[in-house]
Amino acid sequence: MGTIPYMTSILFKHGRIIDPHSRLDVVGDLLITDDRVVAIGTVDNIPTGTEIIDCEGCIVSPGLIDIHVHFREPCGGRHEETISTGAAAAAAGGFTTVCTMPNTTPATDSPELISSAIEIAKNIGKCRVLPTGCATIGRQGKELAPIADMTRAGAIAITDDGDVVEDDAMMAEVLQVACEADRCFMQHCQDPKLTIGGVMHAGPIQEELGLGAWPREAEESIITRDLTLNKNIGCAWHAQHLSSGSSVAIIEAAQQSGQRATGEASPHHLLLTDEACKTLGTMAKMNPPLRTKKDIEAIKDGIKRNVITILATDHAPHPQETKDLPFPDASFGIVGIECALALYVRALIDDNTIDWPQMLAMMTSNPANLIGRSDLGRLEIGGKADITVINPQEKWTINATEFLSPARNCPFDGWNVHGKAVLTMLGGKITHTQVKTTSC
Ligand SMILES: [Zn+2]
């Protein structure tokens, strides 16, 4: 079969193959032919002409998934990122699948805009882009968006990210309709009544800097409210970008009572505290804000105990001029997709919070399961050849000027890190590589 001339085979040789879904962790070979995985672990027949990728010392993982990115297309005339540049940046970071947030201009609240995003991404081919659809028209919280129609057009999840769905009755309706459409709902947990004028974590540093306060309770109260509303609805409910340590316990209690509740952690909420607002200025302005060491420890403990099971970047490109403003006026957010892997290594593996298989589960099978894509985030015979080869030891320095994303708003610029995606493959096609291949 493998000798049919028009087929292309690639052998990933002698890598540490980790497939969190099947709990496989073995040193061996992996063969793909065309867009499919055909052998894992031991490869008996290597077709003539097979390309060989030496994976000695590297991890061979299912393609990484990031369920929270902002690619800003349609962009309303501004160009801090497009699906094209975002997809290239994702591939460079080791990602094969991303979920784009609908706070575009105009907001992604119709089946037409969902179809258009899918079409654009397909033509680029660098990364599988799965757009999410708005919960409410224009993300205004007033009128329900056509969730069922958007789902049929390919919306992978429902969210008004950037804003919370504030009204209780509207929220209950969104959960009901998302549940009927068999899609998860992703919440941006921010009670606007508690964050009026808020720009950073409420505490001594905020007081010292004289900036508006954004308390933890703004996040926790929305989580509590949503999980109460969802109790009898049973939608798959997901908390985006957790910042407060106390949020972990609220989610855990819901899980223990049998609710489908999950949460995600972003690199910046694992590595930076509110002190960074003093040293890095607006580069440390985030929504939700950076908090304290205590919060980081609680989120990491939640990760260790499998309460928080997903890692997501909240990659948020902004033009420099909107970050150059005074702190209260500057944009919230940072880019991170090209350096996320190394940052997670530093935050979670270097201090033994978790090991590689658990971390990769948080970047492959766990997010795939949340978005209902059991064909993604795993390595299996006959499955899609979405593969990321990671050199866990490779040392490098984050250099924002080298990002494929045109945005440069990254507080990790200049950090010395280790761990790098050295090859990314999407459906059998190499979308990023810094390794040489040989033929046999
Ligand atoms: Zn958000």
Per-domain boundaries in the chain: 9-60+383-439, 62-370
Q: Which of 314, 355, 375, 386 is catalytic?
A: 314
Tokens of 124: 């680029």
| Chain mean position to CA 116 | 21
pLDDT for the residue numbered 5: 53
The Cα 208–Cα 364 span in angstroms is 41
pLDDT for the residue numbered 438: 80
pLDDT for the residue numbered 77: 65
DSSP annotation of 75 reads B
The mean pLDDT values, 10 residues at a time, for the chain of 440 residues are: 68 98 98 97 92 97 98 80 94 98 96 95 93 98 98 98 97 98 98 97 98 98 98 97 98 97 98 97 96 98 98 92 92 93 98 98 98 98 98 97 91 97 97 85
Cα distances from 428 to residues 2, 38, 291, in angstroms, run 15, 11, 41
48 Cα: distance to centroid of ligand 1 (angstroms): 49
Fold of the CATH domain 62-370:
TIM Barrel (3.20.20)
332 Cα: distance to centroid of ligand 1 (angstroms): 10
Tokens of 348: 């979670």
Catalytic residue check, 314: yes
413 Cα: distance to centroid of ligand 1 (angstroms): 22
pLDDT for the residue numbered 440: 67
**Cβ–Cβ < 8 Å for 213, 198:** yes
The Cα 294–Cα 363 span in angstroms is 24
Tokens 């795993």 sit at which residue?
378
Same fold, 9-60+383-439 and 62-370: no
Tokens 């950076």 sit at which residue?
290
DSSP 223-279: HHHHHHHHTTT---EEE-S---HHHHHHHHHHHHTT--EEEEE-HHHHH--TTHHHH
Measure the CA angle with vertex 192, ends 69 and 300; round to 5°.
50
113: CB partners within 8 A, 6+ apart: 74, 104, 106, 131
238 Cα: distance to centroid of ligand 1 (angstroms): 12
Task: Specify which residues 149 forms β-bridges with.
Answer: none
Query: Which architecture characterizes domain 9-60+383-439 according to CATH?
Result: Roll (2.30)
DSSP annotation of 384 reads B
**Cβ–Cβ < 8 Å for 409, 334:** yes
The Cα 100–Cα 124 span in angstroms is 15
Q: Which helix (H) or strand (E) holds 27?
A: strand 24-33
309 Cα: distance to centroid of ligand 1 (angstroms): 18
9 Cα: distance to centroid of ligand 1 (angstroms): 41
pLDDT for the residue numbered 2: 47
E strands present in 283-345: 310-311
